[in-house]
Amino acid sequence: MITTLFYILSALTLGSAFMTILTKNTIHSAIYLVICFFSIAGHYLMFNAQFLAIVHIIVYSGAIMILLLFTIMLMNLNKEDEPNKKPWTIVAAVASFCLVAFVLLAAFLKSQPIINGYEVSGQDYQSIRVLGQVLLDEKNGFMIPFEFASVLLLVSMIGAVLLSKKEKRIY
């Protein structure tokens, strides 16, 4: 049963990820990306990481995708405004994709597991209190990256609004 569910979620994840890339309509592409995010949250649930699954749904499927959809809608992407791509740019994009895929595949094949042994401490890392202490403790120092991520999202939202503003022409 678990294996069947894993294969179904994996097929849904890969299918929606490919449709995100291959779909020409940007709104449909964003919807396929939301489906991909939900299926990845299903994988988290299979790993018994309920907190990560809920946070993944709230943060990615909720906040990030809404921000992305508003950005897409504000930019008003039309096919008439987009210039045709030259054939050499398409060939260069495919070649660079193949090169990056080859490097990633080689890195995955050459990688070895880092953990030699696994120690059981008996501490429940699924509780929100322990996760908060691990992530936001002064010793670990993950508070600054969280603040940088929030500032980055704010700047991107302001940038999307500024890009969508129409310039007034003075005659």
Q: State both tokens at 145.
A: 């990256």
Residue 81, pLDDT > 60, answer no
Q: Which helix (H) or strand (E) holds 107?
A: helix 87-110
Fold topology of 1-107: Four Helix Bundle (Hemerythrin (Met), subunit A) (1.20.120)
Across the chain, mean pLDDT equals: 81
State the pLDDT at residue 140: 64
Question: Is the per-residue pLDDT at 16 higher than 70?
Answer: yes
Q: State the DSSP code for 168.
A: P
Measured distance CA(19)–CA(23) in Å, rounded: 6
Residue whose entry in the numeric block shows the structure tokens 């299918």: 15
Query: Smallest Cα–Cα separation from 68: which of 36, 93, 90?
Result: 36
Binning pLDDT at 50, 70 and 90, where does residue 143 land?
confident
Could you tell me the two tokens for 170?
Answer: 């003075």
Burial per residue of 48-65, b for 16 or more beta-carbon CB atoms within 10 angstroms, e otherwise: ebeebbeebbeebbeeeb
DSSP 111: -
Range name among 15-24, 54-63, 113-122 with the lowest pLDDT average: 113-122
Tell me the C-alpha distance between 130 and 169, whole Å: 57
Tell me how far apart the alpha carbons of residues 77 and 140 are, in angstroms, rounded to a whole number.
Answer: 43
pLDDT at position 41, please? 92
∠ CA 155-158-163, nearest 5°, is 120
